[in-house]
Protein backbone atom coordinates (compact mmCIF):
# COMPACT_ATOMS: atom_id res chain seq x y z
CA UNK A 1 0.00 0.00 0.00
CA UNK A 2 1.47 3.35 -1.05
CA UNK A 3 1.84 5.88 1.75
CA UNK A 4 0.13 9.20 1.13
CA UNK A 5 2.16 12.39 1.26
CA UNK A 6 0.87 14.99 3.72
CA UNK A 7 1.26 18.15 1.66
CA UNK A 8 -0.15 20.33 4.43
CA UNK A 9 2.56 19.14 6.79
CA UNK A 10 5.23 19.69 4.14
CA UNK A 11 4.01 23.27 3.64
CA UNK A 12 4.12 23.82 7.40
CA UNK A 13 7.65 22.42 7.46
CA UNK A 14 8.76 24.82 4.72
CA UNK A 15 7.29 27.75 6.65
CA UNK A 16 9.13 26.73 9.83
CA UNK A 17 12.41 26.32 7.93
CA UNK A 18 12.01 29.88 6.65
CA UNK A 19 11.22 31.09 10.18
CA UNK A 20 14.34 29.34 11.45
CA UNK A 21 16.55 30.84 8.74
CA UNK A 22 15.15 34.31 9.49
CA UNK A 23 16.04 33.81 13.15
CA UNK A 24 19.54 32.69 12.14
CA UNK A 25 20.06 35.82 10.02
CA UNK A 26 18.68 38.09 12.75
CA UNK A 27 21.04 36.61 15.34
CA UNK A 28 24.09 37.33 13.21
CA UNK A 29 23.09 40.79 11.96
CA UNK A 30 21.68 42.11 15.24
CA UNK A 31 24.69 40.83 17.16
CA UNK A 32 27.07 42.88 15.03
CA UNK A 33 24.86 45.98 14.95
CA UNK A 34 24.33 45.97 18.73
CA UNK A 35 28.07 46.16 19.34
CA UNK A 36 28.36 49.04 16.86
CA UNK A 37 25.48 51.01 18.42
CA UNK A 38 26.64 50.40 21.99
CA UNK A 39 30.23 51.24 21.08
CA UNK A 40 29.14 54.50 19.47
CA UNK A 41 26.80 55.56 22.29
CA UNK A 42 29.30 54.68 25.01
CA UNK A 43 32.28 56.10 23.14
CA UNK A 44 34.17 52.85 23.74
CA UNK A 45 34.01 51.59 20.15
CA UNK A 46 32.52 48.35 18.77
CA UNK A 47 35.62 46.29 19.56
CA UNK A 48 35.74 47.18 23.26
CA UNK A 49 35.25 44.51 25.92
CA UNK A 50 31.88 45.93 27.14
CA UNK A 51 30.62 46.05 23.53
CA UNK A 52 31.67 42.43 23.07
CA UNK A 53 29.91 41.41 26.29
CA UNK A 54 26.67 43.11 25.19
CA UNK A 55 26.99 41.49 21.77
CA UNK A 56 27.41 37.97 23.18
CA UNK A 57 24.54 38.41 25.66
CA UNK A 58 22.22 39.58 22.86
CA UNK A 59 23.27 36.70 20.59
CA UNK A 60 22.67 34.08 23.28
CA UNK A 61 19.30 35.59 24.26
CA UNK A 62 18.17 35.69 20.62
CA UNK A 63 19.34 32.11 20.10
CA UNK A 64 17.41 30.99 23.19
CA UNK A 65 14.29 32.79 21.92
CA UNK A 66 14.69 31.17 18.50
CA UNK A 67 15.05 27.71 20.04
CA UNK A 68 12.00 28.25 22.24
CA UNK A 69 9.80 29.37 19.33
CA UNK A 70 11.00 26.67 16.92
CA UNK A 71 10.70 23.84 19.44
CA UNK A 72 7.45 24.87 21.18
CA UNK A 73 5.42 25.93 18.15
CA UNK A 74 7.37 24.44 15.27
CA UNK A 75 8.41 20.91 16.22
CA UNK A 76 6.46 19.70 19.25
CA UNK A 77 3.07 19.83 17.50
CA UNK A 78 4.35 16.99 15.26
CA UNK A 79 6.89 15.46 17.68
CA UNK A 80 5.75 16.06 21.29
CA UNK A 81 8.84 14.47 22.90
CA UNK A 82 11.32 16.61 20.93
CA UNK A 83 13.82 18.43 23.13
CA UNK A 84 16.97 17.99 25.19
CA UNK A 85 17.00 14.86 27.34
CA UNK A 86 19.44 13.20 29.70
CA UNK A 87 22.48 11.75 27.95
CA UNK A 88 22.82 7.98 27.79
CA UNK A 89 26.31 6.54 27.51
CA UNK A 90 25.28 3.85 25.04
CA UNK A 91 24.06 6.54 22.63
CA UNK A 92 27.13 8.76 22.98
CA UNK A 93 29.01 6.29 20.78
CA UNK A 94 27.07 7.71 17.84
CA UNK A 95 28.74 11.07 18.48
CA UNK A 96 32.19 9.46 18.25
CA UNK A 97 31.17 7.36 15.25
CA UNK A 98 29.71 10.43 13.57
CA UNK A 99 32.83 12.51 14.09
CA UNK A 100 35.07 9.78 12.68
CA UNK A 101 32.71 9.52 9.68
CA UNK A 102 32.88 13.30 9.12
CA UNK A 103 36.69 13.18 9.22
CA UNK A 104 36.76 10.22 6.84
CA UNK A 105 34.42 11.87 4.33
CA UNK A 106 36.39 15.12 4.55
CA UNK A 107 39.61 13.27 3.74
CA UNK A 108 38.02 11.57 0.72
CA UNK A 109 36.54 14.84 -0.61
CA UNK A 110 39.88 16.63 -0.14
CA UNK A 111 41.72 13.80 -1.91
CA UNK A 112 39.37 13.99 -4.89
CA UNK A 113 39.75 17.78 -4.91
CA UNK A 114 43.55 17.45 -5.04
CA UNK A 115 43.28 14.96 -7.91
CA UNK A 116 40.95 17.28 -9.84
CA UNK A 117 42.29 20.75 -8.98
CA UNK A 118 45.79 20.01 -7.75
CA UNK A 119 45.07 21.55 -4.33
CA UNK A 120 42.48 21.84 -1.57
CA UNK A 121 40.47 25.04 -1.83
CA UNK A 122 39.34 26.54 1.48
CA UNK A 123 35.57 27.05 1.53
CA UNK A 124 34.41 30.68 1.33
CA UNK A 125 32.55 30.63 4.64
CA UNK A 126 35.70 29.26 6.30
CA UNK A 127 37.68 32.11 4.73
CA UNK A 128 35.11 34.58 6.07
CA UNK A 129 35.40 33.18 9.59
CA UNK A 130 39.19 33.39 9.44
CA UNK A 131 39.04 36.96 8.13
CA UNK A 132 36.71 38.02 10.96
CA UNK A 133 38.89 36.27 13.52
CA UNK A 134 41.95 38.21 12.32
CA UNK A 135 40.22 41.53 13.08
CA UNK A 136 41.13 41.25 16.75
CA UNK A 137 40.50 39.14 19.86
CA UNK A 138 36.97 40.48 20.31
CA UNK A 139 35.97 39.49 16.77
CA UNK A 140 37.56 36.10 17.40
CA UNK A 141 35.36 35.60 20.48
CA UNK A 142 32.31 36.66 18.41
CA UNK A 143 33.15 34.10 15.72
CA UNK A 144 33.69 31.34 18.28
CA UNK A 145 30.41 32.16 20.03
CA UNK A 146 28.49 31.87 16.76
CA UNK A 147 30.29 28.76 15.52
CA UNK A 148 30.50 26.75 18.74
CA UNK A 149 27.60 27.89 20.93
CA UNK A 150 24.89 29.15 18.57
CA UNK A 151 25.19 27.34 15.22
CA UNK A 152 24.98 23.73 16.52
CA UNK A 153 21.72 24.43 18.38
CA UNK A 154 19.99 26.57 15.74
CA UNK A 155 21.12 24.56 12.71
CA UNK A 156 20.31 21.18 14.27
CA UNK A 157 16.86 22.43 15.27
CA UNK A 158 16.21 23.56 11.68
CA UNK A 159 17.90 20.89 9.57
CA UNK A 160 17.30 17.86 11.79
CA UNK A 161 14.47 18.84 14.12
CA UNK A 162 12.18 20.41 11.52
CA UNK A 163 13.15 18.55 8.35
CA UNK A 164 13.20 15.04 9.82
CA UNK A 165 9.91 15.54 11.66
CA UNK A 166 7.98 17.33 8.91
CA UNK A 167 9.23 15.81 5.65
CA UNK A 168 8.66 12.19 4.52
CA UNK A 169 8.68 10.93 8.12
CA UNK A 170 6.62 7.86 7.18
CA UNK A 171 8.42 7.22 3.87
CA UNK A 172 11.65 5.32 3.29
CA UNK A 173 14.15 5.83 6.12
CA UNK A 174 16.78 7.55 3.98
CA UNK A 175 14.65 10.09 2.04
CA UNK A 176 14.49 12.86 4.63
CA UNK A 177 18.05 12.03 5.74
CA UNK A 178 19.34 12.90 2.26
CA UNK A 179 17.02 15.92 2.05
CA UNK A 180 18.36 17.17 5.38
CA UNK A 181 21.95 16.79 4.19
CA UNK A 182 21.40 18.44 0.80
CA UNK A 183 19.61 21.46 2.30
CA UNK A 184 22.29 21.72 5.00
CA UNK A 185 24.97 21.72 2.29
CA UNK A 186 23.17 24.33 0.21
CA UNK A 187 22.64 26.51 3.31
CA UNK A 188 26.40 26.64 3.90
CA UNK A 189 26.98 27.72 0.30
CA UNK A 190 24.59 30.66 0.45
CA UNK A 191 26.46 33.86 -0.41
CA UNK A 192 29.15 32.06 -2.41
CA UNK A 193 30.38 33.81 -5.56
CA UNK A 194 30.01 30.53 -7.46
CA UNK A 195 28.87 26.99 -6.73
CA UNK A 196 31.65 24.97 -5.08
CA UNK A 197 30.88 21.30 -5.67
CA UNK A 198 33.50 20.10 -3.19
CA UNK A 199 32.28 22.37 -0.38
CA UNK A 200 28.73 21.27 -1.19
CA UNK A 201 29.69 17.58 -0.99
CA UNK A 202 31.54 18.12 2.28
CA UNK A 203 28.72 19.99 4.00
CA UNK A 204 25.99 17.76 2.54
CA UNK A 205 27.64 14.55 3.71
CA UNK A 206 28.19 16.14 7.12
CA UNK A 207 24.48 16.97 7.20
CA UNK A 208 23.60 13.39 6.26
CA UNK A 209 25.81 12.03 9.06
CA UNK A 210 24.20 14.40 11.57
CA UNK A 211 20.76 13.28 10.37
CA UNK A 212 21.69 9.61 10.78
CA UNK A 213 22.89 10.29 14.34
CA UNK A 214 19.57 11.98 15.14
CA UNK A 215 17.54 9.16 13.60
CA UNK A 216 19.54 6.45 15.34
CA UNK A 217 19.39 8.07 18.78
CA UNK A 218 15.93 9.66 18.35
CA UNK A 219 17.15 12.58 20.47
CA UNK A 220 18.48 15.91 19.19
CA UNK A 221 21.18 16.42 21.84
CA UNK A 222 23.42 13.84 20.19
CA UNK A 223 23.48 15.50 16.77
CA UNK A 224 23.92 18.87 18.54
CA UNK A 225 26.88 17.40 20.46
CA UNK A 226 28.44 16.06 17.27
CA UNK A 227 27.93 19.39 15.50
CA UNK A 228 29.39 21.25 18.49
CA UNK A 229 32.39 18.89 18.65
CA UNK A 230 33.10 19.34 14.94
CA UNK A 231 32.84 23.14 15.13
CA UNK A 232 34.87 23.33 18.36
CA UNK A 233 37.76 21.42 16.82
CA UNK A 234 37.51 23.65 13.75
CA UNK A 235 37.56 26.69 16.05
CA UNK A 236 40.79 25.46 17.63
CA UNK A 237 42.40 25.46 14.18
CA UNK A 238 41.19 29.05 13.62
CA UNK A 239 42.68 30.12 16.97
CA UNK A 240 45.98 28.43 16.07
CA UNK A 241 45.96 30.15 12.67
CA UNK A 242 45.35 33.58 14.24
CA UNK A 243 48.12 33.06 16.80
CA UNK A 244 50.58 31.97 14.12
CA UNK A 245 49.95 35.13 12.08
CA UNK A 246 50.94 37.40 14.98
**Contact between residue 237 and residue 107 where contact means Cβ atoms under 8 Å apart:** no
Grouping H, G, I as helix, E, B as strand and the rest as coil, residue 172 is: coil
If you write DSSP's letter for every residue of 181-225 in order, what string do you get? HHHHHHHTTTT-SS--HHHHHHHHHHHHHHHHHHHHH--HHHHHH
> Is 1 within the bounds of a domain?
no
How high is the mean pLDDT of the chain?
Answer: 86
More confident residue, 124 or 146: 146
DSSP letter at 76?
T
Percentage of the chain surpassing pLDDT 70?
Answer: 87
Q: How confident is the model at residue 152 (pLDDT cuts 50, 70, 90)?
A: very high
Residue 176 · residue 192 · CB < 8 Å: no
Question: Is residue 44 in a domain?
Answer: yes
pLDDT tens-place string over residues 199-226: 899 999 999 999 999 999 999 999 999 9
pLDDT greater than 70 at residue 22: yes
Is the pLDDT assigned to residue 5 strictly greater than 80? no
Work out the average pLDDT over 116-142: 68
User: Percentage of the chain surpassing pLDDT 90?
Assistant: 50
DSSP-derived letter for residue 44 is S
Does residue 190 fall inside a structural domain?
A: yes
- Range scoring the smallest mean pLDDT among 34-48, 52-66, 98-112, 122-136: 122-136
Angle 145-139-235 (CA atoms, 0-180°, nearest 5)? 50
The pLDDT, as a whole number, for residue 55 is 87
Task: Count structural domains, the chain.
Answer: 1
Quick one: pLDDT at residue 38? 80
Does residue 62 lie within any of the structural domains? yes
Model confidence band, residue 245 (pLDDT cutoffs 50, 70, 90): low
Q: Does residue 84 surpass a pLDDT of 90? A: no
In DSSP notation, 69-137 reads HIIIIIITTT-TT-S-----HHHHHHHHHHHHHHHHHHHHHHHHHHHHHSSPPPPHHHHHHHHHHTT-H
Does residue 2 sit within a domain?
Answer: no
Predicted local confidence at residue 1, as pLDDT: 45
**Per-residue pLDDT, 42:** 82
Instruction: Inform me whether the pLDDT recorded for 243 exceeds 70.
Output: no
Q: Which domain holds residue 176?
A: 7-81+89-244
Q: Averaged over 136-153, what is the pLDDT?
A: 82
pLDDT score, position 122:
64
Amino acid sequence: MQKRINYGQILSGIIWIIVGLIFDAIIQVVGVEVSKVFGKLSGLGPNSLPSLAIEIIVIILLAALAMWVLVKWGIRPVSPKFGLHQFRWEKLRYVLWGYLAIIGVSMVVNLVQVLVNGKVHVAQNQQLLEMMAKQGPNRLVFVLTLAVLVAPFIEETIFRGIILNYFFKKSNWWINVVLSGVLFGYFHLMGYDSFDIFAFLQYSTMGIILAIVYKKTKQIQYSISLHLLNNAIGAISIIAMVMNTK
